[in-house]
Structure 1
Amino acid sequence: MAQILRLGGSASNVIVGKIGHGLMMMTWKANVSPEQDQQCFEAIKAGVDALPPGAKMFINSGEFYGPNLSTANLEMLSRFFEKYPEYADKTFLSVKGGLKHLSFEPDASPENLRRSIDNINAALRGTKRVDLFQSARVDHRVPIEDAIKTMKGLIDEGKFDHIGMSECRADTLRRGNSVHPITAVEIEASPWSYEDETKKVIATAQELNISVAAYSPLGRGFLAGRWQSIDDLPADDRRRNFARFKPENFEHNIMIVKAVKALADKKGITPAQLCIAWVAHLGPHMLPIPGSSHKDRTLENVAAANVDLSSEDMDSIGRILLQYPVKGGRYWDASEAELHLWG
């Protein structure tokens, strides 16, 4: 498998590592303090330093990735780039925003998109330019064409460089791309999140030369096989609220993990590397962005770019998914419309 990837859309001149880095869990917790910085900094540096020469690390942040939907993640990044300014040019920064302030409600009005990117840039304090900006969800009240036009205007003002989309349907992606080339579309993709619409978005993105930033390729860590029961998760871990982690679903879904681990053991790799490689093998435009707050875990994830999976390997994983269909929704027990999934 290729260790690098050329981004799509207006960033087709940018080369990134085949495996990116999701930063959400570094600050997506009740308490965040600068004392935790250095561990996160080492995790980011390790991934960048492991890349082939000339490739940037695709790093993914969010305006609201902090306690009480704060900008803690971006503030952490500003401290990182202030301490290690030489890494600014070695990374490609994607940031999700576009929600109502301190809310999960999408708001693609011109006023809110401007507020969002200005808030993001303020948190970064000039230490790093936003390479790509995207609305975290699609606002059904604003035609996607209008939202993309607004973002194009913000690019013209110099606020960021490239446009992304997130949690959108394939036809919405096509409509957005007709207004301005979309560089990347961010969707969840893993061996337990491979829905019909996921497949459609992946196919449409490849047709339109758009990269797919695949978040949670490890099923929020579940598929890495490090937890054998719900009790292994800390009592305040947010994942306990997700449907697939509920005790009645956990016991079933752990069978997927055991089957994946057996296949990984045969290949001499970790379950995490197998899952990340599986996502990467779904197409040349696929860019898994597993999360990690630890140097060793980041290096394990990035090394998945060296894993080659045969068609037989891919078929074996497909059979596992047929034998043990995942139980529980991707988030909590609510409809996709309520969660603004698939736009």
Structure 2
Amino acid sequence: MRTALANGANLWNGAEFYGSPENNSLTLLNKYFAKYPEDAEKVVLSIKGCFSATTFAPDNSETGIRSSVDNCIKLLGPGKKIDFFELTRVDPNVPIEDAVKTLAALIKEGKIGGYMLCEVSEKTIRAAHAVHPVSGVEQELSVWTADVLADGSAAACAELGIPIIAYSPIGRGMLTGEVKSFDDLPEGDIRRILPRFQVLSSLLSLPEHPDVFDLNLKLVDELKKLAAKKNVTPAQLAISWVKARHLQIKGLTVIPNPGATTGARVTENIKSKDVEWTQEDEKEVNNILSSFEIKGGRYPDAFKPLLNV
């Protein structure tokens, strides 16, 4: 965390449900700002809430939002304010306009500085922004997950001046080239249930189908060749591509939000800012993507009702 901040990566994203109720990203941040109080004003903090990690259901009612915000403030402690509170998913039982009215009231009360949305459609972005300006939209965006560039949501963000916070910009680690087989994924890792990392024959009980994992790995291999040609790491290549999406949508601002568990990985990711992205690079990646059909969805079918709502 200190390495990130020292290198200018000061937009930090956590969640009420990342970890157990007693030991999560907010309690970690509490300890961090207690130890380094001088860093509080340097960090722009975005916290996701209003979502149950056990039921996988959002609660964007006024009671649900207020309860989540109050709990996040309690867990975070007095050392740092929540700059942006983020609705983890859109609640199908609550109109987004009503949810935003509650968030606007919390902003007025000084409990949060602003709000963000996550996994939302163009329609939802526009409806929310009309009630109170949206500060950011968190969407999955990477070389192998570019849906938002075609579904109107990124274009709406560009039009309204809303930055996209791109989560999983290195394809949940796949685009680093360091995940070479399904067995490389640790037990309990969420990727073990994501279709894009699976063996299709095991999902469909059809042995004649090839491994999805191995097919997707061919795309990674081609991207690794381009990275080597540019003398950068595959992760730096992937992050640079994400940052350059204004080449596709004029006026779009994208802030990559890669995860990291070591200072070395943080440093590697941040060095992507020094990578020059050229029109030739853009053309080469487009040619690579046109040659491969990415197999498998982003999430299992059970998650789909809460994606890009």
Q: Distance in 1 between matches of 2:261 and 2:299?
A: 22
Correspondence 1:117 to 2:83: no
Pick aligned residue for 1:93 from 45, 54, 71: 45
**Contact persistence 1:63–1:70 (CA under 8 A):** no
**Matching residue's letter, 1:65:** Y
Partner of 1:213: 165
Q: Distance in 2 between matches of 1:242 and 1:280?
A: 25
| Structure with larger RCO (C-alpha < 8 A, sep 6+) | 1
1:80-229 matches, within 5 Å, as 80-100=32-52, 102-195=54-147, 200-229=152-181
Instruction: Note the alpha carbon deviations across 1:100-152, whole angstroms, 9 max, x for none.
Output: 48532111100000000011111111121100001100112211111111100
TM-score normalized with structure 2 length: 0.91
Correspondence 1:79 to 2:31: yes
1:62-77 matches, within 5 Å, as 62-67=15-20, 72-77=24-29
**Contact persistence 2:85–2:116 (CA under 8 A):** yes
Pick aligned residue for 1:311 from 270, 276, 279: 279
SS of 1:89's equivalent?
A: helix
**Matching residue's letter, 1:61:** G
**Distance change (3 Å), C-alpha of 1:287 and 1:163:** same
1:267-282 matches, within 5 Å, as 267-282=230-245
**Distance change (3 Å), C-alpha of 1:310 and 1:297:** same
**Distance change (3 Å), C-alpha of 1:154 and 1:103:** farther
C-alpha deviation, 1:232, in angstroms: 1.6
Q: Distance in 2 between matches of 1:196 and 1:89?
A: 32
Instruction: Note the alpha carbon deviations across 1:137-170, whole angstroms, 9 max, x for none.
Output: 0112211111111100111121110111111001
C-alpha deviation, 1:50, in angstroms: 1.1
C-alpha deviation, 1:238, in angstroms: 2.3
Partner of 1:341: 307
C-alpha deviation, 1:305, in angstroms: 1.2
The structure whose Rg is larger is 2
Q: Distance in 2 between matches of 1:297 and 1:100?
A: 30
Partner of 1:249: 212
C-alpha deviation, 1:285, in angstroms: 1.1
Aligned length in residues: 293
Unaligned runs of 5+ in 1: 1-43
Q: Distance in 1 between matches of 2:180 and 2:291?
A: 20
C-alpha deviation, 1:196, in angstroms: 5.3
Instruction: Note the alpha carbon deviations across 1:53-85, whole angstroms, 9 max, x for none.
Output: xxx610010110014x76611111111111111
**Matching residue's letter, 1:188:** E
Correspondence 1:261 to 2:224: yes
Q: Distance in 2 between matches of 1:303 and 1:174?
A: 34
**Contact persistence 1:64–1:70 (CA under 8 A):** no
**Matching residue's letter, 2:18:** Y
C-alpha deviation, 1:236, in angstroms: 2.9
**Distance change (3 Å), C-alpha of 1:83 and 1:193:** same
**Contact persistence 2:141–2:148 (CA under 8 A):** no
**Contact persistence 2:145–2:171 (CA under 8 A):** yes
Correspondence 1:61 to 2:24: no
More off after superposition, 178-187 vs 245-254: 245-254
**Distance change (3 Å), C-alpha of 1:153 and 1:303:** same
Correspondence 1:300 to 2:268: yes
Instruction: Note the alpha carbon deviations across 1:245-296, whole angstroms, 9 max, x for none.
Output: 1132111110111010000000000010011010000025110100001101
Q: Distance in 2 between matches of 1:235 and 1:114?
A: 35
Partner of 2:206: none
Correspondence 1:329 to 2:281: no
TM-score normalized with structure 1 length: 0.82
C-alpha deviation, 1:330, in angstroms: 0.6
Instruction: Note the alpha carbon deviations across 1:281-321, whole angstroms, 9 max, x for none.
Output: 00251101000011010011111111121122112112222
Q: Distance in 1 between matches of 2:281 and 2:236?
A: 13
